Amino acid sequence: MLSEPVTRTQITRGQRLWLYIVVGLVMIFLVVPCLLVVPMSFSAGEYLEFPPKELSLRWYRAFLGSQEWLNALWVSVRVAVPTMIIATIVGTAAAWGLHRRTDIFATGVRGIFILPMLVPLILIAVGVFFVYAKVGLNGTIGGLILAHTMLALPFVLIAVGNGLASFDMALHEASRSLGATELRAFLSVTLPQIRISVMSGAVFAFVTSFDEVVVALFVSSGENETLTRRMFANIRDQVDPTVAAISSLLVGMVIVGMIVFLFVGRDETQEH
Amino acid sequence: MTDFAMSSSGSPGTLNAGILRRREVLERFSATALTFPGLILILLVLLVPVLWLFWLSAFDGAGDLSWANYERMGKSIYVRTFTTTFRIAIIVTVCCAFLGYPVAYLMSQSGRRLSLVILLSVLLPFWTSVLVRTYAWLVLLQRTGLINGWLQDLGLIDTPLALVHNELGTIIGMIHVMLPFMILPLYASMKAVDPSLMLAASNCGATPAQAFRQVFFPQTITGLSSGAGLIFVLCLGFFVTPVLLGGGRTYMWAMQIADNISLYGNWGAASALGVVLVVATALVLLAVQFVLRRAGGTK
């Protein structure tokens, strides 16, 4: 098996064994820290151990039994869901508009839409905090939704833009020539074709908001503290194993999401 | 859109042409208008706040127009923050390039199953919250953490190593956060390399090493430079990981901005730091654009 050539230039597996070893080590580096907290979160002791000497759901109970933690989770959901909906609609509309205009104007507007990705987050956070202080939006859910929607826009725009790039515009034009209005043609012909891109844009928008720390650190407070803000303060000030339980739940969500995406992706390729 | 409108409505004539023109303008306007909600949001929640900070940076404590906020940057504490930030950004970028290149290479050159496994191992950290990963590194690296525990059990060390709450811990945590941003664009550029070019190089007598260096590597420079540029820029403004893993001793740019506000309430100083950060970011991005354009031109 090792002497089998694996490239067109006849390099054998054995000759590039070092490559497999290096990549294996980097993969361990990438994956292990994400998964390690899961077994540790079942520790029964006061501190985290690996492997845990005794298993228990103690830290999960600590999370689910705490009004503050549950409230923070609820705030994060109440921010992330509207952010996802608004950013997906606004971002898809913008991507569609830009797709139909391919002039210098479109290039300029595209540049502006990418700005939230390029401007350092800390500066956005400080600036938003400053402006929100003037208009009384600090510590409100609405203010956080506005800021997170802005941050999520470039991801939706890029995802939907990629989908549109491989969409056959003739289909849209055919439906227009058959008498459909622009809106109807978009909703019943174009949108179903690019739905996977729109969905991945929506996932990106949700995750952008749900995982966002820096803006939430400045803008959310008190009653409307997000989960990430509470976790950040907790990790900074004390290493409380409750965070391990929450982290494990979040990692579990990511893994479930990846499995779902694998299956959706496979169904898509089979259709074509 | 225009072509279609012209071809589908048969009879020519000035009246028709006028209607078509009006329709075209209307259609162009409706396409433009679709971007307005997003543009307004970005204007209100990004451009206004950031430009307002720029404006603030030009005034001193007494409210007079001055360079005071920028002159302060010559002070040794600021200079130290700058050098720390740039040093960490360079180390992290270079490490990501060396660690990411082999991973992207194997992913692009191997069969479906292996490349999927590698891709999933890159996407898992990519999708996992930065806070969760930073917390995991804290648990791994701290004085009573797993790595120190294992090393002591194996008898390799007597006293625990200081792996975290310093620059080393910050760098390890940041490499972990940034590595997917290197691997994904590299993979995209490697996937685009035509494999028959490597075969051609080998037919022309190139050794595998020569073929890699002279044919393969130059075609991946676009991916490498966009990954490196993105990581460098993200490192310059990075906040979460240095705060949690740096233990207050590793003081980076973003922390200085945050502290100027939360500890001292000095908006002018924080804004000036922000302006310099934006300028540095823009310069790095322009340099990347330059490299990309040159690499694109040689093809």
Contact residues on chain B for A238, CB-CB shorter than 8 A:
none
More confident site: A267 or B130:
B130
Per-residue confidence (pLDDT) for residue B97, from 0 to 100: 96
Per-residue confidence (pLDDT) for residue B206, from 0 to 100: 86
Among A80-94, B110-124, B264-278, top mean pLDDT goes to A80-94
| Average pLDDT score over residue span A180-207 | 92
| Average pLDDT score over residue span B261-287 | 90
> Does the pLDDT at position A10 exceed 80?
no
Q: Does A1 touch chain B (CB under 8 A)?
A: no
The token duo for A67 is 């009004």
Query: Which letter, b or e, does each residue of A146-158 get, where b requires 16 or more Cβ atoms within 10 Å of its Cβ?
Result: bbbbbbbbbbbbb
pLDDT tens, position by position, B73-96: 888 888 999 999 999 999 999 999
> Contact B106/A211, CB-based, under 8 Å?
no
Contact residues on chain A for B147, CB-CB shorter than 8 A:
none
Contact residues on chain A for B34, CB-CB shorter than 8 A:
93-94, 96-97
Provide the 3-class DSSP secondary structure of residue A5: strand
pLDDT tens, position by position, B214-229: 889 999 998 999 999 9
> Does the pLDDT at position B112 exceed 90?
no
| Average pLDDT score over residue span A160-182 | 90
Per-residue confidence (pLDDT) for residue A3, from 0 to 100: 64
Partner residue opposite B32 with nearest CB, options A37, A97, A116: A97
> Does the pLDDT at position A129 exceed 60?
yes
> Contact B137/A116, CB-based, under 8 Å?
no
Per-residue confidence (pLDDT) for residue A199, from 0 to 100: 92
Per-residue confidence (pLDDT) for residue A4, from 0 to 100: 65
- A256: closest chain B residue by CA: B124
> Contact A232/B48, CB-based, under 8 Å?
no
Residues 137-156 (A) with a CB less than 8 A from some CB of B: 146-147, 149-150, 153
> Contact A6/B110, CB-based, under 8 Å?
yes
The token duo for B178 is 């940034």
> Contact A244/B135, CB-based, under 8 Å?
yes
Bridge partners for A12 per DSSP: A5
Average pLDDT, chain A: 89
CA of A86 vs chain B CAs: smallest distance (Å) = 10
Partner residue opposite A123 with nearest CB, options B33, B135, B274: B274
Q: Does A203 touch chain B (CB under 8 A)?
A: no
Per-residue confidence (pLDDT) for residue A50, from 0 to 100: 72
Per-residue confidence (pLDDT) for residue B6, from 0 to 100: 47
Per-residue confidence (pLDDT) for residue B167, from 0 to 100: 92
| Average pLDDT score over residue span A85-96 | 96
Provide the 3-class DSSP secondary structure of residue A206: helix
Per-residue confidence (pLDDT) for residue A88, from 0 to 100: 97
CA of B102 vs chain A CAs: smallest distance (Å) = 6
| Average pLDDT score over residue span A121-127 | 94
Per-residue confidence (pLDDT) for residue B5, from 0 to 100: 46
Contact residues on chain A for B56, CB-CB shorter than 8 A:
130
> Does the pLDDT at position A156 exceed 60?
yes
Average pLDDT, chain B: 87
> Contact B258/A122, CB-based, under 8 Å?
yes
Torsional sign, CA A165, A169, A171, A172: positive
Partner residue opposite B42 with nearest CB, options A29, A34, A116: A116
Q: Does A249 touch chain B (CB under 8 A)?
A: no
Per-residue confidence (pLDDT) for residue A267, from 0 to 100: 63
CA of B45 vs chain A CAs: smallest distance (Å) = 6
Per-residue confidence (pLDDT) for residue A182, from 0 to 100: 85
The answer to whether the pTM exceeds 0.90 is no
**What percent of chain B is modeled with pLDDT above 70?**
94
Crossing angle of the two packed helices B14-33 and A67-100, in degrees rounded to 10: 160
Partner residue opposite A90 with nearest CB, options B37, B47, B261: B37
Partner residue opposite B278 with nearest CB, options A50, A97, A120: A120
Amino acid (one-letter) located at B51: L
Among A170-174, B139-143, B178-182, B197-201, top mean pLDDT goes to B178-182
- A36: closest chain B residue by CA: B136
Per-residue confidence (pLDDT) for residue B9, from 0 to 100: 47
> Contact A247/B132, CB-based, under 8 Å?
yes
Partner residue opposite B28 with nearest CB, options A91, A101, A146: A101
- B286: closest chain A residue by CA: A118
More confident site: B247 or A229:
A229
> Does the pLDDT at position B139 exceed 50?
yes
State the Cα–Cα distance between residues A187 and A200, nearest whole angstrom: 18
Q: Does A259 touch chain B (CB under 8 A)?
A: no
Least confident of A35-39, B143-147, B281-285: B143-147
State the Cα–Cα distance between residues B235 and B166, nearest whole angstrom: 16
- Label residue A152 by pLDDT band (50, 70, 90): very high
> Does the pLDDT at position B98 exceed 90?
yes
Q: Which long-range contacts (CB under 8 A, 24 or more apart) does A76-82 make?
A: A76/A209, A76/A210, A76/A226, A76/A227, A76/A228, A77/A210, A78/A141, A79/A141, A79/A144, A79/A145, A79/A148, A79/A209, A79/A210, A79/A226, A80/A148, A80/A206, A80/A209, A80/A210, A81/A206, A82/A145, A82/A149
CA of B220 vs chain A CAs: smallest distance (Å) = 18
Per-residue confidence (pLDDT) for residue B299, from 0 to 100: 44
DSSP codes, B246-281: HTTTS--HHHHHHHHHHTT--HHHHHHHHHHHHHHH
The CA–CA distances, whole Å, from B192 to B109, B118, B119 equal 11, 18, 17
Partner residue opposite A19 with nearest CB, options B102, B257, B281: B102
Least confident of A185-194, A250-259, B155-164, B237-246: B155-164
| Average pLDDT score over residue span A183-196 | 91
Partner residue opposite B41 with nearest CB, options A90, A124, A127: A90
Per-residue confidence (pLDDT) for residue B205, from 0 to 100: 85
| Average pLDDT score over residue span B228-241 | 93
